[in-house]
Amino acid sequence: MNAPAKIILFGEHAVVYGQPAIAVPVSSLRAEATIRPAPVGTGLHIEAADLNEVLPVDLESDLVDNALILTARTVLKALNAPPPDAIITVTSHIPMASGLGSGAAVSTAVARAVAKAVHVDITLEQTNQIVYEIEKIYHGTPSGIDNTVIVYEQPVYFIREQPIEKLTIGAPMTLVIADTGEASLTRIAVGDVRKLYEAEPERIQPIIMEIGDIARRAKTAILNGNISSLGPLMLKNHALLQKLTVSAPSLDHLVDTAMEAGAQGAKLSGGGRGGNMIALCAPHRAEHIKEALLRSGAVRAFITKVT
């Protein structure tokens, strides 16, 4: 049972305020949950492979502060099933706190594994709802874009509280994803933008609307396969995110590096303040841009194709 990472192409942060955003799954990076049977009467345990921790899933106790356990409990309650005698082991290849949706991907993988362990087919809609509930506990006021793109594993044009709109990619896009190596919690960045918005609504609201406009224009360009117009939109989106104070010197530096190395556009992706940036490249330039980003301080960089 598994789930992919994600990147946001356009519209992060503004999406929390009802503007559209575009996100795509990164299927080569995944979180995984495997199930093995346990002796009768031992109940359900979750093992986080990286953390060397095995925790019981107790349906009675409310004193839980662990996203994996809460996910498992929420699934069992939603499916009206008792804990199975099983151990679910979670492994993730998605760097944490880096804007790639590792939390939502791990929750999705666990939700799927728990449903399988109790032999119930869980729908995408149910999974999405459950993962969103967990996101709300750990991410403050999430828009729901991360869980949606990860659970459905499809490019989405997302507007909060509206039916999911899958996005058809008119022509393939080559992206380099590069990690600043600076961990950053989405919850903090989202909370800081909220404070800024409340302190100066007349300055911040137009920035949010402008980001929404960019996402709308990007949607049309993506549908039409007009990839060359996306680069300038990414740069504009990055500049607006700077104004929302969610960029960081490391992100700006990698964006500049990518542009100097010949990218068509670049921006931070996700919550910002660290984590990952993305650069749109002509396929034959991608390797060169990736190497430039690694030389300029990215701790990880890889090429992905959005199709």
Burial class (CB in 10 A: 0-12, 13-18, 19+), 282: middle
Which residue of the set 50, 85, 121, 146 is catalytic? 146
Beta strands 276-281; 173-179: pairing state: antiparallel
85 is catalytic: no
Q: How far is the CB of 234 from ligand MEV (least distance, A)?
A: 16
Q: Which is nearer to ligand MEV, 16 or 48 (CB)?
A: 16
Q: How far is the CB of 194 from ligand MEV (least distance, A)?
A: 11
- Rounded to whole angstroms, the Cα distance separating 115 from 35 reads 11
Q: How far is the CB of 237 from ligand MEV (least distance, A)?
A: 12
- Rounded to whole angstroms, the Cα distance separating 107 from 187 reads 17
Given the rule CB under 6 A, which residues bind ligand MEV? 8, 12-13, 15-16, 99, 142-143, 145-146, 186, 190, 270-271
Torsion of Cα atoms, 284 then 3 then 298 then 227, to 10° = 40
Q: Which is nearer to ligand MEV, 193 or 227 (CB)?
A: 193
Write down the number of H helices and E strands in the chain.
9, 11
Residue 276's DSSP bridge partners are 179
Sign of CA dihedral 63, 68, 72, 77: positive
Phi, psi at residue 141, to the nearest 5°? -120, 70
Q: Are 148 and 135 in contact (CB under 8 A)?
A: no
Q: Which is nearer to ligand MEV, 74 or 143 (CB)?
A: 143
Q: How far is the CB of 178 from ligand MEV (least distance, A)?
A: 16
Q: Which is nearer to ligand MEV, 16 or 114 (CB)?
A: 16
Active-site residue numbers?
146
